[in-house]
């Protein structure tokens, strides 16, 4: 049975930010709107996880009035329960937009749903292999991983970490353990030698006063991190709404990158509990916009654009790992058709984010 919107909120089990789409009447960044009106004025955005620094563009776009400038009356931002949950809910039509990842879009499409990636926010694979220098020594080369104990959570983090180890011919040499959702603490306690995770885990570890060395899986496995997904039928029925949402989000990403302190202020304003981890959230956002949002594809085609190769490489990893339920065409799960090439924040994103 298809889950209802009420089911999304119950399963997501987190914060719901609902209200007007921002300060009607424009914003202070001097930008202009491409708005010709949207046919769905109230939409929801289901996050991949609890609200935090990595979600700065969406909150900035709402609080600075960029969604309102495009004609949206209400943007409901909902905390999520993982990229898999977000992709499923988008495919079920239970949310207009969702933050997911390339691996989960492929996986959910293999299970006979049709979420489509319409805008790539994080252009690089966010998965990393990392170690505590005090416990392990300085980690600079994957060859140092031979015969060590590697731990990670389950699911796609493990799949990507194993693919990285296999790429370097090391998978059969390590002892791989399931660290659950406590990977960082197990690493810092010396219970595992090396951890597989995402770059935000490294930020968490460093905020506990540890010196962490990192090997990036992106050099071995190209894959997209955070992206915006919507159901294929919703996009086909409401193309102007999808285009407007993406324009405003690109504008929010530019604003948040150029005003990182104010962007985190917005996060704290809408979720006061984040004040306790404000510096941590700032560092996660700073690393995301400085290291993960630009690529040759963005330089060439603009914000949000997909290229075929990361999708094909991710598909190969998932197929080799028997993750996919059924056959899925990696070229059919994404589209650049809703990215407005004439919009200044989309087309010139790389120039604008650099200053």
| Each residue's pLDDT tens digit, 25-61 | 334 454 444 445 799 999 999 999 999 999 999 999 9
- Match 């190969």 to its residue by tokens: 316
pLDDT of residue 152: 97
Confidence at residue 300, expressed as pLDDT on a 0 to 100 scale: 97
* pLDDT score of 314: 97
Main-chain phi, psi angles of 153, to 5 degrees: -75, 175
pLDDT for res 10: 32
Listed in sequence order, the residues at least 6 apart from 354 whose beta carbon sits closer than 8 Å to its beta carbon are none
- Give the pLDDT of residue 192: 98
DSSP 53: G
DSSP-assigned letter for residue 24: T
**pLDDT, tens digit (0-9, with 9 covering 90-100), for 139-151:** 999 999 999 999 9
**Tens digits of per-residue pLDDT, 115-131?**
999 999 999 999 999 99
Asked whether residue 92 carries a pLDDT value surpassing 70, the answer given is yes
In this prediction, residue 36 carries a pLDDT of 59
Q: CA 89 → CA 48, 94, 223, 351, distances in Å?
A: 11, 5, 21, 34
* Conformation bin of residue 66: beta by default, left when phi > 0, alpha when psi is -120 to 50: alpha
- Is-contact 349 298, C-beta < 8 A? yes
- Kindly tell me if the per-residue pLDDT of 3 is higher than 50: no
Other C-beta atoms within 10 Å of 278: how many? 15
pLDDT value of position 344: 97
Handedness of CA 342, 345, 346, 351 (dihedral sign): positive
pLDDT of residue 16: 65
pLDDT of residue 354: 77
Beta bridge partners of 194: 150
Structural domains of the chain ordered from first start: 5-124+224-353 (3.40.190.10), 127-219 (3.40.190.10)
With a CB cutoff of 8 Å and minimum separation 6, the contacts of 150 are 129, 161, 165, 174, 175, 176, 177, 192, 193, 194, 195, 196
Q: What is the mean pLDDT of the chain?
A: 91
More confident residue, 262 or 19: 262
pLDDT at residue 9 greater than cutoff 80: no
Q: Is residue 8 scored above 60 in pLDDT?
A: no
Hey, how many other C-beta atoms are within 10 angstroms of the C-beta on 190? 11
Task: Indicate if the pLDDT at residue 68 is higher than 50.
Answer: yes
Global pTM? Answer: 0.91
What's the DSSP call for residue 204? H
The larger pLDDT score, comparing residue 93 to residue 24, is at 93
């Amino acid at each position: 049975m298809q889950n209802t919107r009420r089911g999304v909120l119950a399963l997501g089990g987190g914060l719901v930010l609902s209200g007007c789409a921002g300060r009607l009447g424009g914003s202070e960044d001097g930008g202009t709107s491409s708005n010709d009106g949207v046919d769905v004025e109230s939409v929801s955005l289901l996050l991949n996880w609890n609200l935090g620094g990595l979600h700065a563009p969406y909150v900035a776009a709402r609080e600075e009035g960029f969604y309102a400038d495009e004609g949206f009356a209400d943007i409901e931002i909902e905390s999520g329960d993982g990229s898999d949950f977000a992709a499923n809910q988008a495919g079920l039509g239970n949310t207009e937009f969702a933050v997911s990842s390339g691996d989960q879009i492929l996986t959910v499409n293999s299970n006979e749903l049709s979420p489509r990636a319409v805008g790539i926010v994080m252009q690089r694979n966010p998965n990393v292999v990392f170690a505590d220098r005090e416990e392990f020594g300085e980690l600079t080369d994957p060859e140092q991983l031979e015969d060590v104990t590697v731990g990670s959570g389950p699911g796609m983090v493990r799949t990507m970490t194993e693919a990285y180890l296999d790429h370097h011919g090391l998978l059969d040499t390590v002892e791989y353990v399931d660290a659950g959702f406590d990977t960082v603490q197990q690493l810092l306690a010396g219970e595992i030698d090396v951890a597989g995770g995402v770059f935000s885990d490294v930020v968490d570890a460093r905020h506990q006063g540890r010196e962490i060395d990192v090997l990036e899986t992106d050099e071995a496995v190209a894959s997209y991190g955070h992206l915006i997904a919507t159901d294929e039928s919703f996009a086909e029925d409401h193309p102007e709404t999808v285009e407007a949402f993406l324009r405003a989000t690109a504008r929010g990403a530019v604003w948040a990158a150029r005003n990182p302190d104010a962007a985190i202020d917005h996060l704290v304003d809408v979720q006061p509990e984040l004040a306790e981890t404000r510096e941590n959230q700032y560092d996660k956002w700073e690393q995301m916009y400085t290291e993960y949002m630009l690529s040759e594809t963005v330089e060439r085609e603009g914000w949000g654009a997909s290229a075929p190769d990361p999708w094909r490489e991710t598909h190969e990893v998932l197929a080799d790992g028997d993750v996919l339920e059924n056959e899925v065409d990696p070229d059919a799960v994404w589209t650049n058709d809703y990215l407005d090439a004439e919009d200044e924040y989309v087309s010139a994103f790389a120039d604008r984010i650099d200053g």
